[in-house]
Amino acid sequence: MSTTYQNLKDILSSGIYEYFFSGADDSVTLRENELSWKRFQIVPRVMSSPRSVSLEIDFFEKKWPSPFLVAPMAYLGMVHEHGDLGVALASAAQQFGFILSCHATTPLELISSHFLREELRGPLWFQFYPYGSHAEWLSLISRVQRAGYEALVVTVDAPVKWTPKAAIDAGFSVPANCPQPNLSGVPPRGSLTDVLKQAFSWNDLKWLREKCSLPIVIKGVLNPEDASRLCDESLCDAIIVSNHGGRVIDRVIPTAYVLKEIVASVANRVKVLVDSGIRSAHDVAVALALGADAVLIGRPVVAALAEGGAQGVAHLFSRWRDELSAIMAVCGFSTISDFKLNIDIRWPKEHLI
C-alpha cells in the first residue's frame, strides 16, 4: 500500500479508506505504478526558458485548456458530502476535464448542467461498464447524449469484482441505500459483480461503435497488439492506457512501462491517454514526454476531496497546473506539443530488469 495517504485514516472510515487506497492482493502493482513514473528522468535545456507557457492541447478537433482529466471513480459521495458534483465543479473551474463514473452517486444530468456552464473548460465524458443488454446500453447512452456529454468511455479491464481484499477485511460494502441514479433500470445492482457483463467482446464493441454517435474511448488497454487492433478496425477514437490503478489484478505491468510502445503501435491514428500511479505534476510531465496526449488523475483527487472538499480539489488542480507550467519552462518549452516532440527523457540502466 502507498504510504502517501496514511493521514486520511483519521478522516475516512477504515473500510472506505481501504476501498479507495488499497490495491489488489499484495498491492505490488499499486506500488510499482507509483515508482515507475519516478524512474524516468528528464534532461532539460538551459538558457532557453520561454516568456510564457501554454498547457493547451488539440483533442477531438477542439482546443483543451490543459492535458489533465479526472479519472472516473465510483462512490465519491462516501468520501465527502461534496462528492461528484464538488469534483466536477473544481474541474470546470480549473480547466480540467472530468469523466463521470456510471457508479457516481449524483445524477449525470446534474453534473452536466453545472459543468457545461463554464465557458473555458476541459471535456466532459461519461464512463460505463458494458452490463445488461444492448438495449440497456443504448438507453443509457441516449441519456448521456441528451445531457451533453462529449464522449463515452468504455472500461474493458474489469470484467469481475475488484473490491480490494483489504477493503473487504475492513468491512467495506456499498450500503443498500447508496444512490446510484445513473444505473436505474439495470438489473440487479447490489454488487459490482452483479452488474458487470462478463463477456464483453470485440463483436460487442463493433456493435456499439455502429450504434453510438459519440466518440468512443476504450479504457484499460495494456497490450500494444490490442491497441493496434482497435485502430486497425476503427473501433475507437482514443485509448486510455490503464491497469485500473492496480485494483483489479496484481502483478500487472505498470502503465509507464508500456505507454511508449502503445503510442508507437497507435501511430497517431487515435489519441492516447494514461492513468495509474500519477501522483504529481512531475509524473504528468513524464507521461507527456513518453507520448501521452492527456493524463487521468484518480487517488490524489480522492485525497484532496477527503481533506478539503471541492475547495481542496480546486487547490490541488491549481497547484498541478502551476507545477507543470514551471517544469515546462525550466526545460525550455512553451507548449505541450513542443515539449512532447523535443524533450529528452531517459530511463537509467540500473532500473532495467
* Residue 247 assigned ligand-binding role: yes
Residue 103 appears among annotated catalytic residues: no
Tell me whether residue 277 is annotated as binding. Answer: yes
101 annotated among ligand-binding-site residues = yes
- C-alpha to C-alpha distance for 283 and 34, rounded to whole angstroms: 9
The answer to whether the annotation marks 299 as part of a ligand binding site is yes
Q: Is 84 annotated as a binding residue?
A: no
Quick one: angle between helices 83-93 and 299-331, nearest 10?
Answer: 10
Q: 134 among the known binding-site residues? A: no
Residue 5 known to bind ligand: no
351 labelled binding-site residue: no
Question: What is the distance between the alpha carbons of residues 176 and 91, in angstroms, rounded to a whole number?
Answer: 29
Cα–Cα distance, 279 to 288 (Å, whole number): 14
Residues contacting residue 348 through CB under 8 Å, at least 6 positions apart: 39, 41
| Rounded Cα–Cα distance for residues 225 and 227 (Å) | 5
Question: Would the annotation count 51 as a binding residue?
Answer: no
SS3 296: strand
Phi, psi of 77 (to 5 degrees): -65, -20
346 marked as part of a ligand binding site: no
78 is in an annotated binding site: no
SS3 294: strand
Q: Which of 103, 244, 282, 351 is catalytic?
A: 244
Q: Say if CB 318 and CB 68 are below 8 A apart.
A: no
* Catalytic residue annotation: 244
Binding-site positions read: 19, 72-74, 101, 127, 129, 155, 219, 242, 244, 247, 275-279, 298-299
Binding-site positions for glyoxylate read: 19, 129, 244, 247
Binding-site positions for FMN read: 72-74, 101, 127, 155, 219, 242, 275-279, 298-299
